[in-house]
Amino acid sequence: MMQWRVLLQKEWRDHVRSLKVLWIPLVFVLYGVMQPVMLYYMEDIMKAVGNMPEGFDMGITDVTSVEVMASTVGQFHLIVSLIIVLSFMGIISKERKNRTAALLYVRPISFSSYYFSKWSGATIVALVSTIIGLLASYYYTVILYNEVDAWRIAALIGTYSLWVLFVVTVTVTASALFPTGVAGTLAILLTYFVQLIDSIIGQFWTVSPWKLGTYAVTWLGSKPDSSDFWLSVVVTVIAIIVLMFVGVFGARKNMENIKI
């Protein structure tokens, strides 16, 4: 526990110095806010830039706040996993390469506290940024459109947080197992590509971690099918725990690959 705390402090300092604590929340807020504002002023923007025919109605003025929030989360979904994977793909593998790992591994540190410090550091940054971004878009949606039930937003954020946890775990574990390039590619494949497959042929199954993004949006309008939803949550939590064990194992196994 003590080791974990010290390592987490080191991790936090790294995130501060690499400015991740600053730019990741800012970017997430930006993408959360942009969509509602853009949709609201679409007509003005179109009038300003293009010469629309007389009496042209795009039918976007009467969108509901739920639709706005849903499209914002859709937009958000594209950028979140990409930024998380790209900014944390080197979290363990770069230390093996830039000789930090040699300094760490000569000390009697357990690999689980090493891995968990990495995981917690990445999780804090990613999760807080996501929540701030979603809250910002909720705020703007309420200002520009109508009220959305607060519990729906809470359910959305909760479901989405689990997806973010999954992405972070996949990234950190891939980084523990492989060099940075391979880890990034693998994590992108496991989050983006599988999601693409899931959206194409995913109607044959209803339980998978990659469906969490869809379920999160479903909270806005109605409720997701509760048994499917909770099974997906359980499967995701199990997947996260398994990936953590694999990650600790990978960090230990790659000890021989460090540069001294």
Partner 1 sequence: MSSLLMMLLPIIIIEFILLIVALIDLVKIPETNGPKWLWAIAIVCVSIIGPIIYFIFGRKQV
Binding interface with partner 1 (CB under 8 A): 18-20, 22-23, 26-27, 29-30, 33-34, 37, 40-41, 44, 83, 86-87, 90, 94, 97-98, 144, 180
Degrees (nearest 5) of the Cα angle 247, 253, 259?
110
DSSP code of 178? S
**Least distance CB 79 / partner 1 (angstroms):** 9
Nearer to partner 1 by C-beta: 20 or 77? 20
Nearer to partner 1 by C-beta: 183 or 244? 183
Tell me how far apart the alpha carbons of residues 39 and 37 are, in angstroms, rounded to a whole number: 6
Tell me how far apart the alpha carbons of residues 153 and 138 are, in angstroms, rounded to a whole number: 8
Nearer to partner 1 by C-beta: 47 or 253? 47
Nearer to partner 1 by C-beta: 90 or 224? 90
**Least distance CB 143 / partner 1 (angstroms):** 8
Tell me how far apart the alpha carbons of residues 97 and 93 are, in angstroms, rounded to a whole number: 7
Nearer to partner 1 by C-beta: 130 or 236? 130
**Least distance CB 69 / partner 1 (angstroms):** 17
3-state secondary structure of 92: coil
Closest CA to 81 of 26, 32, 128, 130: 130
**Least distance CB 72 / partner 1 (angstroms):** 14
**Least distance CB 224 / partner 1 (angstroms):** 32
Tell me how far apart the alpha carbons of residues 154 and 150 are, in angstroms, rounded to a whole number: 6
b/e 59-92 (16+ beta carbons within 10 angstroms → b): eeeebebbbbbbbbbebbbeebbebbbebbbbbb
